[in-house]
Amino acid sequence: MQLTYLEAIRKGIWEEMERDPTVFCIGEDIGIYGGAFKVTDGFIDRFGPERVIDTPIAESAIVGAAFGAALTGMRPVAEFQFMDFIGCAFNQIVNMVAKAHYRWGAPAPMVIRGPSGGNVHGGPFHSQNPEMWFVHAPGLKVVCPASAYDAKGLIKASIRDNNPVIFFEHKYLYRRIKEEVPDEDYVVPLGKARIAREGRDLSIITYAAMVHLALEAADVLAKDGIEVEVVDLRTVSPLDREAIASTVRKTNKVILLHEDVRTGGLAGEVAAIINEEAFDDLDGPIVRITSQDSPVPFSPPQEEYFMPQLKDVVREARSLKAY
Amino acid sequence: MAKKHKPPVTSKSSSNGSKRNQSANPLRTYEIRDYRLEKPSFTVRQVRHGDEVRYEVKGDLSAPVPPIRESKYLSKAQCIEIYRWMLLNRKMETALENLYKQGKVVGGVYFGLGQEGCSCASAYALKPDEWLGPLIRNQGSLLVRGFPARDIMMQYMAKAGSPTKGRDASSHFGDHQQRNVVSPISTLGDLIPVLAGVALGARLQGKNIAVMTYIGDGGQSTGVTYEGLNFAAVQNLGLVLFVENNLWGYSTPADMQFRVKDLAERAIAYGIPGVIVDGTDPCQVYDAAHEACERARRGEGPTLIEAKMMRMKGHAIHDAAEYVPKPLFEYWKKRDCIARFENYLVNAKKWLTKDENAKLISEIDRQLEADRDFAVSSPMPEPASAAGGTYCEPGCHQVKAKYGTPKVSVTKSSATTPKQREAAVHLK
């Protein structure tokens, strides 16, 4: 079945609610309204208001209540209207939930999901990529799917996981990509990267919407005879160290690309892993392409300047190939 | 005690005890049930004395100590059991203070001195399959939930055998399998939405349970307190929130935390019942807790209970609390919950003879001595035991519905493509 990225996520949650009566949804405007982006559209009609719970505008309460329900053996799926607002619940997530299993052995099978990312002219509070706040909090898993197939398989794996999973849905992809998604039940395992395109000359390691930019750049570069390998990390915590090392061993040159800002972004961590696992395999400097270190600007020309563009990736790839 | 509030007048709300005014009087009235037998009234203010700014107390501190209020529900045996928990609570903390002085405690010690009656009598109202989330001073609640004193001692001494295996201190532990206790964290108010979520989980599994947690006069200032209690109110969840007004949030007096006369008045704003009890009277605490728990079990929603008392030590053992005006200590020392309850059981009710009381006390002493010796002689954790357990790995926990598989009913509506009406459509 041809599904958009959004429909794939929706179908994944729907199937899990059909399959497992302990799964329920909680969040703002998710019931009759179906959520700001309509991911849970129709859920309340199918599963009833008991399992599709509209909450007050209270992000800490949403996370706290999800955690409490998880302690009784439920598997809550908590929606954040925009992942930018997750800062409101930061303490619940990093201090209450993330530390629970280490401190007192309490599993927290819960998913916190919602739209993140820019390129939609949403301005500083509707465009952020806050994944690194949570990558830095041990105890959480952080997932950033790039394709519709992965989005469905990863949301299902996240719901079935016994750990708290922060699931970033890139809102630029919601209705832009459409692909064949199997109708049957399948999961994409957490913590496993995939090769989105094979290549031998250099690797671009990336995730979320930037996977598509990398693939576009690979098409352009292929015309020049530069064969780019694109690695889609899919899960950014825990990272697939083996996949990172093996692509570097294969191509010996690597670009780290993400939409998140530069300082403290995932590229720094991936560069350190390459240093630890495959330093001797490098034939050139590790190149970072990221957004600039600033809030996400609103005006379209400014946002374009802020974010990595096709020309940036192509230019850096050519330069690295020639190194 | 009736409280008067300003208009508007149009609401028909009654769940929070508001009385619909039948007359043309535009004032609405609300009821806050007050179990107390005395209503102390004093304020603490910052006052300059020459070069120094100090706290000063104003008000009448000469009133005689009131009697214990007869419980509507507690039997003789139950009263004695609560008294025993209170004694164990206090004596365990005294033992911890001594261990600290001997250098055996890692970090500080937090005391519930003067608040044992509130911790123990409140937790006593819960059933075994119900849930509790304690704060740092509710070590008595943990004892009532079935943790031995040695567990708490080992937490303070960071021992390998502590409930968190050395990974966290003090009352910061829980048990989601048997004792149904949610571990607190250091920030305040965060347990409130979590306990509400526990009640939500149980309700989805077909059972209305009572869940209990605490917040202080200081902690109630946090935003998550509002979020959690409001969520519980809107969802009609069986949360019993004890607001332990012990007059001090670290060094800041209650008068600088809030403007309302009584924190129970906050309940009005949530649309839920508010109750005031004397936190040094275990019978009042229990009765209010029991009624709130019964309400929760009937599916009628949350209750806010303000328990008034005083923190009789500093914030933790390092804090001599010299900022507290001495007359306040003197006033509340006369209202010591254990002395009052002992007097009630031994002299007023004659439910305990002096010999029986002495025997009970010496049994606790003997038990605590054994617990202390066990905790002291138990090993520290191996350094490498800091590793592992950050994640729940396959095979480490089986997650299953605690109160039974939720009964679900689905309609025939199918997983069709979401409608193309998009709210956030401008973001594309």
Record the pTM. 0.95
Tell me what the pLDDT averaged over chain A comes to.
98
Query: Which pLDDT band holds residue B111 (cuts at 50, 70, 90)?
Result: very high
User: Looking at this protein, which amino acid is placed at residue B182?
Assistant: V
Tell me what the pLDDT averaged over chain B comes to.
93
Query: Which pLDDT band holds residue B24 (cuts at 50, 70, 90)?
Result: confident
Question: Does residue A186 lie in a domain region?
Answer: no
Q: What is the mean pLDDT of residues B316-322?
A: 95
Q: Is the pLDDT of residue B428 over 80?
A: no
Closest CA to A260 of A236, A244, A243, A242: A236
Per CATH, which fold does B31-58+77-383 belong to? Rossmann fold (3.40.50)
Q: Which two tokens stand for residue A225?
A: 């005879």
Query: Which pLDDT score, from 0 to 100, does residue B13 have?
Result: 45
Tens of pLDDT, residues A229-260:
999 999 999 999 999 999 999 999 999 999 99
**CATH, residue A71:** 3.40.50.970
Chain B, window 220-249: residues with a beta carbon less than 8 angstroms from a chain A beta carbon: 223-224, 227-228, 230-231, 234-235
Alpha carbons B189 and B174: distance in angstroms, whole number: 17
- A17 and A128 belong to one structural domain: yes
- A240 and A149 belong to one structural domain: no
Question: Does residue A129 lie in a domain region?
Answer: yes
Query: Using CB atoms, which residue from A21, A62, A69 is nearest to B408?
Result: A21
CA A199 to chain centre: 24
- A153 and A231 belong to one structural domain: no
Query: Which pLDDT score, from 0 to 100, does residue B17 have?
Result: 56
Query: Which pLDDT band holds residue B408 (cuts at 50, 70, 90)?
Result: confident
C-alpha distance from residue B141 to each of A74, B67, B69, B124, B137 (Å): 26, 24, 21, 8, 9
Query: Which pLDDT band holds residue B409 (cuts at 50, 70, 90)?
Result: confident
- A11 and A141 belong to one structural domain: yes
Chain A, window 70-99: residues with a beta carbon less than 8 angstroms from a chain B beta carbon: 70-76, 91-92, 95-96, 99
- A313 and A211 belong to one structural domain: yes
- A161 and A245 belong to one structural domain: no
CA A323 to chain centre: 32
- A201 and A158 belong to one structural domain: no
Query: Which pLDDT score, from 0 to 100, does residue B411 have?
Result: 74
How many CB atoms sit inside 10 A of residue B383's CB? 7
Alpha carbons B129 and B179: distance in angstroms, whole number: 8
Q: SS3 letters for A144-168?
A: CCCCHHHHHHHHHHHHHCCCCEEEE
H-type alpha helices, A25-89? 43-47, 59-71
Q: Answer yes or no: are the C-beta atoms of B189 and B223 closer than 8 Å.
A: yes
- Check CB contact under 8 Å for A61 and B224: yes
- Give domain limits for chain B: 31-58+77-383
Q: Does A126 touch chain B (CB under 8 A)?
A: yes
Closest CA to B259 of B269, B273, B251: B269
Query: Using CB atoms, which residue from B163, B183, B195 is nearest to A68?
Result: B195
By CA distance, what is B420's nearest residue in A?
A38
- A12 and A59 belong to one structural domain: yes
By CA distance, what is A121's nearest residue in B?
B427
What phi, psi does B48 have (nearest 5°)? Answer: -85, 130
Tens of pLDDT, residues B129-165:
999 999 999 999 999 999 999 999 999 999 999 999 9
Cis peptide bond N-terminal to B66, omega within 30: no
Q: Does A124 touch chain B (CB under 8 A)?
A: no
Q: Does A49 touch chain B (CB under 8 A)?
A: no
The β-bridge partners of B181 are B132, B175
DSSP string, B335-403: T-HHHHHHHIIIIIS--S-HHHHHHHHHHHHHHHHHHHHHHHHSPPPPGGGGSS-SS--TTT-----TT
Q: Does A63 touch chain B (CB under 8 A)?
A: yes
Residue B147: which H helix or E strand, with range?
Answer: none
Which one of A118, A150, A180 terminates a domain? A180
Mutating which of B399, B402, B411, B426 best tests the A interface, going by the most A Cβ atoms within 10 A?
Answer: B399
Chain A, window 299-318: residues with a beta carbon less than 8 angstroms from a chain B beta carbon: none
Residues of A acting as catalytic residues:
126
- Check CB contact under 8 Å for B408 and A51: yes
| Domain hosting residue A289, numbered range | 194-322
Question: Does residue A212 lie in a domain region?
Answer: yes
B258: left (phi over 0), alpha (psi -120 to 50) or beta: beta
Query: Which pLDDT score, from 0 to 100, does residue B420 have?
Result: 53
Q: Does A105 touch chain B (CB under 8 A)?
A: yes
- A250 and A228 belong to one structural domain: yes
Which one of A180, A212, A241 terminates a domain? A180
Alpha carbons A315 and A321: distance in angstroms, whole number: 10
Query: Which pLDDT score, from 0 to 100, does residue B11 have?
Result: 41
- A145 and A238 belong to one structural domain: no
Number of folded domains that form chain A:
2
Mutating which of A3, A71, A161 best tests the B interface, going by the most B Cβ atoms within 10 A?
Answer: A71
Question: Does residue A145 lie in a domain region?
Answer: yes
- Check CB contact under 8 Å for B406 and A91: no
C-alpha distance from residue B62 to each of B65, B69, B280 (Å): 9, 20, 17
DSSP B9: -
Q: Does B400 touch chain A (CB under 8 A)?
A: yes
- Check CB contact under 8 Å for B201 and A74: yes
Query: Which pLDDT score, from 0 to 100, does residue B410 have?
Result: 73
Alpha carbons A74 and A129: distance in angstroms, whole number: 28
**CATH, residue A245:** 3.40.50.920
